[in-house]
Amino acid sequence: MISKFTYRLLPLAYRIWKIEVLVQGGIMSLDKISTQLGGTDTKMPPVETWNPPYCGEIDIQIKNNGDWFYGGSVIKRLPLVKLFASVLIKEVKHGVVEHFLITPVEKVKIQVDDAPFLLTQWRWLDTDEKCMQVSTNLDDEFTLDENHPLMVTESGDLYVTVRRNLLAKVHRNVYYQWADIAQELVTENGTELILSSAGCQFTLGKL
């Protein structure tokens, strides 16, 4: 059975689904619920302005490969996954990272195995300044820059900030492609592979 939280999110995808849902024993127009969530346009919902009560956990899991699961089954509808991702937030308390889906009236915890997004593609932009555009498995596109920095962990895994504090793990194929075009530079940390974009330099790790 789909939770009430899922029903509250479905209105954002009304332009895709063209359906109505049963709520509290009756038919409620998705347009009405959509109004509560700020409409059905392509803009990201203003989750930073919402402060709903915590309502427990929901059986949604984001796997290492970026697949979303509900109740143990993969969510195959990409528009629905994008809908969930648009209201995803991350909180860090006492070093513990937790992810939540949020609406103006409800906040529920989900499980994320690693990062909620996977960075799968990149290309150079045709600009005067050397800028790299990257994209995720959910079609988020942005420039690799100071607002979307690349970071490397002690284990050598690469992550990029997508929006707010949400991360995308860099796919291994992308890493190999970047390693081929990166510059070898001697820094205070030793010889590193450096990737440059939008006036910023990012390390891919030590050699």
What does the domain layout of the chain look like in residue ranges?
4-112, 117-206
pLDDT score, position 104: 85
2, two tokens: 């789909």
Per residue in 12-60, pLDDT (tens digit) is: 444 333 333 333 333 333 343 334 444 444 578 889 999 999 988 988 8
Averaged pLDDT score across all residues of the chain: 83
CATH of the domain spanning 4-112? 3.10.540.10
Q: What class is the 117-206 domain?
A: mainly beta
Cα–Cα distance, 168 to 144 (Å, whole number): 12
pLDDT score, position 83: 85
Per residue in 58-83, pLDDT (tens digit) is: 888 999 999 999 889 998 888 888 88
Dihedral angle sign, alpha carbons of residues 119, 123, 125, 128: positive
pTM confidence score: 0.80
pLDDT score, position 205: 92
Dihedral angle sign, alpha carbons of residues 21, 66, 98, 73: positive
